[in-house]
């Protein structure tokens, strides 16, 4: 059990400080148990997060959903909910106090609802057809596909709503229970475990995405639900000082204070711009599976290539963490994004030539192989970058603002991407999937714009002291929201 343990008298003060996180003091066994439970929870969390965006585009398309509806269900509605809920959950969690802590109660409350929603999504097609069978007596002109698509959309929205409490607060828990001296190592293992979950799913399970949808969703949901409830029972938070009093009251005052603080400095505004543009361009990625099918690949081949890449990338996560510590996460992220522009441009070749399925598979696998170390580097740099750039005392609040910026990009980008593909589809009325090959054009265009925003972040970071003396600017009044 990872409850804090008092260090023994023989331990030096320096050793005790290294094993401390706030009021929590761990023994070696306690720290080992903490890592074990958090990483097991992380494995199941990533498995749960992987299954929905991987399978649901295929399910929606099999029911005749247009690209715009797919983007609404998979990208826009989740981003809109995230935009509204993330700052509320984040700031309330920062200020929340209970016997169970300020993070774990949110995880414990939401987990059963996430589990149930995920199981229902797996049976959404059956539920939709059953409801159609009931309603068709009163609405004889109601198409079955409309009822099925409506059911899927409602259940997906329910899942996203409850999952926001998990996806938002889980990351903040690490900062509250993991000692700073071991944070780098923990995040290295954290990324390895997340990659392992995605790789196992892609390599062994993705090929059954269309044939065993209900079984996959039910199995993953039960595994996640049981694992996460055990994790919230075993991991303990320490004690926190009471939150600072808020002089202003009322929702309008809170919103004004939130945004005035988060937008208080140029470097924060530039980070938010980078997140928004990156999310706008990346929102088309949900259709990537269809581009792969358009060049002749099967689900089994796509899953095997993705799974193999994940396994290789998993072993690169820890050394990439050392690289981030050596060169600063902002620099590593910048170089990674430049390299992503290069690998993304490889996909443009499919607009010019039609290759045999075997050759297409080799090109696809080659581009994925080139992207493996790039993905490992940017993943390793992501969380440490915002941890170093945002104020620590208000990390949840600033992280929420950054998520909101990404949500704005995702909301608009998801709609625009779906409309863009539906527009191109009009030029291929024979049912061809060729128009999905324009996805890299979209991605590369917005990657270059986001890269420009990141270069501005780097310049501002250097102006504020860079490696030598950068401290997150706190020019706002110190009042918690």
CB contact set of 103 (below 8 Å; sequence gap of 6+): 93, 169, 170, 172, 173, 176, 237
End-of-domain residue from the set 211, 238, 265: 238
pLDDT digits (tens, 9 = 90+) for 467-477: 888 988 875 54
pLDDT at 4 exceeding the cut of 70: no
Both 182 and 269 in one domain: the answer is no
Q: How many residues belong to the chain?
A: 481
Query: Domain check: are 161 and 20 in the same one?
Result: yes
Helix (H) or strand (E) run with residue 215 in it: helix 213-234
| pLDDT number for residue 233 | 94
The answer on 270 and 216 residing in a single domain is no
Q: Looking at the structure, tell me whether residues 178 and 274 fall in a common domain.
A: no
Write out pLDDT tens, residues 226-253.
999 999 999 999 888 887 666 555 667 6
Q: How confident is the model at residue 476, as a pLDDT?
A: 52
Residues 183, 101 share a domain: yes
Domain assignment present for residue 137? The answer is yes
Instruction: Provide the domain limits for residue 320.
Output: 251-475
State how many domains the chain has: 2
Of all residues in the chain, the percent with pLDDT exceeding 90 is 51
Does one domain contain both 222 and 317?
no
Mean residue pLDDT across the chain: 87
Assess if residue 404 is contained within a domain: yes
Tens of pLDDT, residues 91-127: 788 888 998 899 999 999 999 999 999 999 999 999 9
Give me the pLDDT at residue 249, please.
57
**What is the rounded distance in angstroms from the CA atom of residue 431 to the CA atom of residue 61?**
13
Residues 75 and 193 in one domain: yes
Residues 232 and 259 in one domain: no
pLDDT at 2: 47
Q: What is the token pair recorded at 235?
A: 């991991």
130-134, 204-208, 280-284, 390-394: segment of lowest average pLDDT:
390-394
Q: Does a structural domain hold residue 55? A: yes
Domain-located, residue 292? yes
**DSSP assignments along 108-144, one per residue:** HHHHHHHHHHHHHHHTHHHHHHHHHHHHTTT-TT--H
Lowest-confidence region among 189-198, 293-302, 363-372: 189-198
Q: Quick check: is 447 in a domain? A: yes
What's the CA gap between 253 and 236, in Å, rounded?
34
For residue 84, give the CATH number of its domain: 1.20.1250.20
């Amino acid at each position: 059990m990872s409850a804090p343990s008092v260090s023994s008298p023989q331990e030096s003060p320096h050793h005790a400080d290294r094993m401390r996180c706030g009021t929590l003091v761990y023994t070696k066994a306690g720290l080992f148990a903490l890592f074990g439970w958090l990483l097991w929870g992380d494995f199941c969390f990533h498995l749960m997060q992987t299954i929905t965006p991987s399978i649901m585009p295929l399910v929606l398309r099999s029911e005749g959903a247009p690209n715009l509806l797919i983007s609404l269900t998979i990208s826009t509605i989740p981003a809109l909910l995230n935009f509204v809920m993330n700052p509320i959950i984040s700031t309330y969690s920062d200020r929340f106090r209970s016997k169970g802590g300020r993070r774990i109660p949110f995880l414990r409350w939401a987990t059963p609802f996430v589990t149930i929603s995920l199981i229902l999504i797996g049976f959404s097609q059956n539920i939709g057809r059953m409801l159609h069978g009931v309603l068709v007596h009163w609405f004889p002109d109601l198409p079955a596909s409309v009822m099925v698509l409506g059911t899927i959309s409602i259940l997906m929205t329910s899942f996203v709503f409850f999952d926001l409490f998990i996806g938002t607060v889980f990351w903040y828990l690490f900062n509250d229970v993991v000692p700073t001296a071991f944070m780098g190592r923990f995040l290295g293992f954290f990324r390895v475990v997340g990659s392992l979950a995605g790789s196992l799913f892609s390599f062994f399970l993705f090929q059954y995405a269309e044939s065993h949808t209900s079984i996959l969703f039910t199995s993953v949901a039960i595994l996640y639900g049981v694992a996460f409830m055990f994790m919230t029972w075993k991991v303990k938070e320490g004690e926190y000082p009471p939150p600072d009093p808020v002089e202003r009251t009322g929702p309008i005052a809170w919103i004004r204070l939130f945004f005035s603080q988060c937008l208080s400095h140029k470097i924060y505004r530039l980070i938010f711009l980078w997140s928004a543009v990156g999310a706008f361009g990346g929102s088309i990625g949900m259709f990537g599976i269809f581009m792969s099918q358009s060049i002749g690949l099967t689900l089994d081949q796509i899953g095997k290539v993705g799974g193999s890449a994940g396994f290789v990338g998993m072993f690169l996560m820890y050394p990439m963490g050392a690289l981030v510590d050596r060169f600063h996460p902002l620099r590593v992220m910048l170089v990674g994004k430049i390299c992503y522009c290069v690998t993304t441009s490889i996909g443009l070749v499919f607009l010019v030539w039609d290759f045999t399925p075997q050759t297409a598979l080799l090109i696809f696998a080659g581009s994925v192989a080139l992207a493996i170390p790039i993905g490992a580097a940017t993943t390793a740099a992501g969380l440490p970058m915002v941890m170093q750039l945002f104020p620590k005392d208000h990390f949840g609040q600033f992280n929420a603002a950054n998520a909101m910026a990404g949500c704005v990009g995702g909301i608009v980008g998801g709609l625009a991407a779906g409309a863009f593909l539906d527009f191109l589809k009009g030029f291929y009325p024979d049912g061809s999937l060729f128009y999905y090959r324009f996805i890299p054009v979209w991605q590369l265009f917005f990657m270059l714009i986001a890269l420009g925003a990141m270069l501005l972040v780097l310049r501002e970071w250097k102006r504020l002291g860079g490696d030598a003396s950068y401290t997150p600017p706190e020019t706002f009044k110190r009042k918690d929201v």
